[in-house]
Structure 1
Amino acid sequence: MTTTTTDRYARSKELFAAAQEVIPGGVNSPVRAFRGVGGSPIFFARGTGSHVEDVDGNNYIDYVLSWGPLLLGHSHPAVIQAVNEQLTRGSSFGAPTELETELAKLVINLIPSVEQVRFVSSGTEATMSALRLARAYTKREKIVKFVGCYHGHADMLLVQAGSGVITLGLPDSPGVPAATASDTLTVEYNDVAGVTEIFRQYGEQIAAVIVEPIAANMGFVVPEPGFLQTLRELTTANGALLIIDEVMTGFRAAPGGAQVHWGVEPDLTCLGKVIGGGLPVGAYAGKKAIMQTVAPAGPMYQAGTLSGNPLAMAAGIAMLRTAFEAPEGETTLFERAVARTQNLADGIRSLSEETGVPLQVGNIGTMFGFYFLKEPGVKVRSYAEAKEYVDAARYSKFFWAMCERGVYMAPSQFEAGFLSSAHDSVDIAVTLTACREAFLAARG
């Protein structure tokens, strides 16, 4: 349970009580309920740069960043200007705009495997549509996903899902038809032998493998050497598609996504978060020969009134250009954020050794994560190992200790963290000082 005082979060508690009367559980996405750390959720009022302020006036350095999309930080002037200018022209037309083509070209230029893009309104829509496309293209039914990887809340994907499901300790969701779940084959993340056996048994029935290149919905688990490459080899050999879900890692792990970082070229890529600049957006993208199966070019139907809406497109264009473009010879804002992320991760590793608190720390690009471990020397490579080795109770103590020191991290041990270009050296220094104190508090 929280060790905070009533006064510090009094208004948040009032708002949560009111929300529970009209919203299931008081929140519109389960992890926001703070079940993973105890206590009542913090309600936020505003954000600027690397900082957020809650409704009680408490200020925090923010490492959640709306779960990833705010690569430039909160309320970046370029994004605000782009959205305001578009808002004066119209918020939605339900018709094509030039902005859609412009953002699609930016995505294609950044991600080498992508030749065409279809915009949707969420990451769930992106993964759901990509799998429907894979089935339509291959004329097969079964998909392979990895235990603990979360790809949105479509029925066929709520089988052995991660993130909020892990945090809340829920079983596979009620309401998912058994017939739907029967076509979803699951295997532990990083289990090369297991996925190879699945292909041996079902190879001719498998339409696609979908994978998080970093398992960032069960904490922060990176692929073991050769794991992603094996998926590429197995899908190619068996006529299945490889779908890399970069909703979290796209433009975060690297400008071209985690697929570029690890040198694996998928058939389809799912995107979200950053490409909307903080507004609701998603996309699925890939080879033109496959994407041409999507209506109206082909027979596979998918539609959405707000897909490619001009506000999200304008925000996404501003976000990507500002983050990745720089005069020749100068570093980009993204590159500076990567350096700060490395400094933070290195500092956390050092503090783990100094304080004797066993941690598993990881970072790629502008993403990072760390597990509190029940004992030193173990390594989390899969969902099964996360359940066995991770000390979620200690993370809860750490979380609230960090909040009291003005640092906001994910309210769950099973979520990744993010930096923005707005985080500076002072933010990192303050965070590491808070971490040292919070590690000691959590150790007791």
Structure 2
Amino acid sequence: MSKNQALFERAQRTIPGGVNSPVRAFRSVGGTPRFIERAEGAYFWDADGKRYIDYIGSWGPMILGHVHPEVLGAVQRVLANGFSFGAPTEAEIEIAEEICKLVPSIEQVRMVSSGTEATMSALRLARGFTNRSRIVKFEGCYHGHADSLLVKAGSGLLTFGNPTSAGVPADIAKHTTVLEYNNVEQLNEAFKAFGPEIASVIVEPVAGNMNLVRATPEFLNALRERCNEYGSVLIFDEVMCGFRVALGGAQQVYGIKPDLTCLGKVIGGGMPAAAFGGRRDIMAHLAPLGGVYQAGTLSGNPIAVAAGLKTLQLIQRPGFYDDLAKQTRKLVDGLTGAARDAKVPFSADSIGGMFGLYFMDSVPGSFAQIQQGDTRRFNAFFHAMLDAGVYFAPSAFEAGFVSSAHDDAIIDATIDAARGAFASLAA
């Protein structure tokens, strides 16, 4: 028995499913999860000592690669001063100033410890600011596991949403309207029906949890226009795509200014940190200034702030995002070419340092289209690549990530491995 197998059997005795986040269990792809012991640059090593090229990057944060020496140094310098204080520090001001500088729509920001906290708090703030209850979200966009967000579409556009998780009361789900991503007509119809009730619309401007799916400019412009028209708060969930697709996030790419933005992943540099922020007049409704309560013992943790602040400083170096996008595009073009040579139906897309792989003929634009992909082939490809020492997301419904440590030799090695994997699928 491998050490990975032994650890997984042991873990299942004390941890539900043997993992602390569901996708890690490999249920979608089958097989035994890899238990990681260490990482460096673009690689990590599992409990059996096998090395993998890492394309999940802790699901996005490791934009500089693992154990970047300057980030490590920043963390080591603050460790000796204490792990947590439950009181403010100057470093919290510094990271807030950096975020506000890099994302112009954010005039004030509140630090939290996870993306779920960020989206949950932003929605509460939007409801408190507008004094309305209804929120609008989109099928396939994941915004964390708060009750009001674990909701799928009802049987028709104007029906109540249905919980997607046990434990979510129907009375909470009924305040969430779920629409199709990139469907402008549906969006306009929903605002026509519910406009004065809608506190907020929350959206991933570049979705990453139904795989990589880009919003169309027409869709995001319509969101901004309808929210302006009805006085609803537009929230961009950039927990995943913030500082990943561009220095100013997806809102910089699209040229659209949301009212609130949720951030995470990169701003913690691999540590548990997230944030939400936006217009000053909305943020003024937060406690201790206003009546919308939000708090967190570890918010602004000094170790997480040190890692995040140094990461934000390093990604501002000239040419960083051009180089990152170039390497990511080289990866997806190489994989597409390898699949074409093997005559395997396949497409891929990338933006900044994010990418998506689809076992279908064209790049999808919605969750319904994503579901038409060949998951059986994806699973076979995933395991073939895993055997070859390349670790992609263990699900056909997750985006992938490239770091600045993924150099030409690493990308070339990945494409070489993919030629063998695609050939095995065609056999």
Q: TM-score normalised to the size of structure 1?
A: 0.92
User: CA shift at 1:347, angstroms?
Assistant: 1.4
Q: Which secondary structure does the structure 2 equivalent of 1:67 belong to?
A: coil
User: CA shift at 1:40, angstroms?
Assistant: 1.3
User: CA shift at 1:262, angstroms?
Assistant: 1.0
Distance between the aligned counterparts of 1:220 and 1:234, measured in 2?
25
Distance between the aligned counterparts of 1:187 and 1:149, measured in 2?
10
> Which residue of structure 1 lines up, in the alignment, with residue 117 of structure 2?
125
Task: Tell whether 2:160 aligns with 1:172.
Answer: no
**Structure 2 letter corresponding to 1:438:** A
1:336 equivalent among 317, 323, 344: 323
Q: Which secondary structure does the structure 1 equivalent of 2:207 belong to?
A: coil
1:65-88 Cα offsets, whole Å, 9 max, x none, are 000000111011111111111110
User: CA shift at 1:360, angstroms?
Assistant: 2.5
> Which residue of structure 1 lines up, in the alignment, with residue 364 of structure 2?
380
User: CA shift at 1:340, angstroms?
Assistant: 0.9
Distance between the aligned counterparts of 2:130 and 2:33, measured in 1?
44
Distance between the aligned counterparts of 1:229 and 1:95, measured in 2?
41
Q: Which secondary structure does the structure 1 equivalent of 2:58 belong to?
A: helix
Q: Contact (CA 8 Å) 1:243, 1:268: kept in 2 or not?
A: yes
Within a 5 Å distance, the mapping from 1:128-147 to structure 2 comes to 128-147=120-139
> Which residue of structure 2 lines up, in the alignment, with residue 349 of structure 1?
336
Distance between the aligned counterparts of 1:127 and 1:176, measured in 2?
17
> Which residue of structure 2 lines up, in the alignment, with residue 419 of structure 1?
402
Seen in structure 2, the aligned counterparts of structure 1 residues 156 and 171 have a Cα distance that, compared at 3 Å, is closer
Q: Percentage identity across aligned positions? A: 53
User: CA shift at 1:179, angstroms?
Assistant: 0.6
> Which residue of structure 2 lines up, in the alignment, with residue 60 of structure 1?
52
Distance between the aligned counterparts of 2:163 and 2:103, measured in 1?
36
> Which residue of structure 2 lines up, in the alignment, with residue 369 of structure 1?
356
Q: Contact (CA 8 Å) 2:36, 2:45: kept in 1 or not?
A: yes
Distance between the aligned counterparts of 1:219 and 1:394, measured in 2?
15
1:101-160 Cα offsets, whole Å, 9 max, x none, are 100111111111111110000000000000000000011000000011100000000012
Q: Which runs of 5+ in 1 are unaligned?
A: 1-5, 162-169
User: CA shift at 1:232, angstroms?
Assistant: 0.5
Q: Contact (CA 8 Å) 1:149, 1:160: kept in 2 or not?
A: no
The aligned length equals: 419
Distance between the aligned counterparts of 2:381 and 2:73, measured in 1?
38
**Structure 1 letter corresponding to 2:352:** G
> Which residue of structure 2 lines up, in the alignment, with residue 265 of structure 1?
257
Q: Which runs of 5+ in 2 are unaligned?
A: 154-161
User: CA shift at 1:379, angstroms?
Assistant: 4.8
Q: Contact (CA 8 Å) 1:395, 1:442: kept in 2 or not?
A: no
Distance between the aligned counterparts of 1:171 and 1:232, measured in 2?
27
Distance between the aligned counterparts of 2:352 and 2:129, measured in 1?
33
Instruction: Tell which deviates more after alignment, 292-301 or 11-20.
Output: 292-301
**Structure 2 letter corresponding to 1:390:** G
Q: Contact (CA 8 Å) 1:123, 1:272: kept in 2 or not?
A: yes
Within a 5 Å distance, the mapping from 1:396-411 to structure 2 comes to 396-411=379-394
Task: Tell whether 2:72 aligns with 1:85.
Answer: no
User: CA shift at 1:440, angstroms?
Assistant: 1.5
Within a 5 Å distance, the mapping from 1:90-105 to structure 2 comes to 90-105=82-97
Within a 5 Å distance, the mapping from 1:418-437 to structure 2 comes to 418-437=401-420
**Structure 2 letter corresponding to 1:351:** A
Runs of 4+ that moved beyond 3 A: none
Q: Contact (CA 8 Å) 1:371, 1:413: kept in 2 or not?
A: yes
Q: Which secondary structure does the structure 2 equivalent of 1:56 belong to?
A: coil
**Structure 1 letter corresponding to 2:412:** A
> Which residue of structure 1 lines up, in the alignment, with residue 313 of structure 2?
321
Distance between the aligned counterparts of 1:213 and 1:222, measured in 2?
7
> Which residue of structure 2 lines up, in the alignment, with residue 191 of structure 1?
183
Distance between the aligned counterparts of 1:52 and 1:379, measured in 2?
29
Distance between the aligned counterparts of 2:174 and 2:45, measured in 1?
45
2:293 equivalent among 282, 286, 301: 301
1:297-340 Cα offsets, whole Å, 9 max, x none, are 211110000000100100001111112135xxxx33x4322221
Q: Contact (CA 8 Å) 2:43, 2:53: kept in 1 or not?
A: yes
Task: Tell whether 2:373 aligns with 1:390.
Answer: yes
Q: Which secondary structure does the structure 1 equivalent of 2:200 belong to?
A: strand
Q: Which secondary structure does the structure 1 equivalent of 2:73 belong to?
A: helix
Within a 5 Å distance, the mapping from 1:213-228 to structure 2 comes to 213-228=205-220
